[in-house]
Amino acid sequence: MLASRRNGTLYVGVTSNLVKRVWEHKNNIVKGFTQKYGVHTLVWFELHETMESAIRREKAIKEWKRDWKLKLIEQQNPAWRDLYSEIL
């Protein structure tokens, strides 16, 4: 999950290469939502054994209320640190 800032705009996505995908968002390579709203900070992620599992989870989280997403982030990343350097 990417965020524009603490409690800011959120983006939920799925990828098979998290490092590359976050780099693309941070460098505005990806046109669209994240570029338009400055959503560049990796604040939460989880790994899955299969792409199918990851896609199911992504779809479920996208249906969640915003408050639930904020709680998910704050459970593992209460300071809303950019986790990108931790996955390099």
Q: What's the confidence (pLDDT) of residue 30?
A: 85
Provide the residue ranges of all domains of the chain, joining segments of one domain with +.
2-86
Q: Could you tell me the two tokens for 69?
A: 């997403």
Q: What's the confidence (pLDDT) of residue 68?
A: 98
CB 39 within 8 A of CB 4: yes
Q: Could you tell me the two tokens for 75?
A: 């459970």
In this predicted structure, the answer to whether residue 78 has a pLDDT above a threshold of 90 is yes
Residues 11-60 have pLDDT tens digits of 999 999 999 999 999 999 989 999 999 999 999 999 999 999 999 999 99
In this predicted structure, the answer to whether residue 73 has a pLDDT above a threshold of 90 is yes
Q: What's the confidence (pLDDT) of residue 76?
A: 97
Strand order in the sheet with 10-11: 10-11, 2-3, 41-42
Neighbours of 39 (CB within 10 A): 22
- Backbone phi, psi, residue 81, to 5°: -65, 150
For the whole prediction, is pTM greater than 0.75?
yes
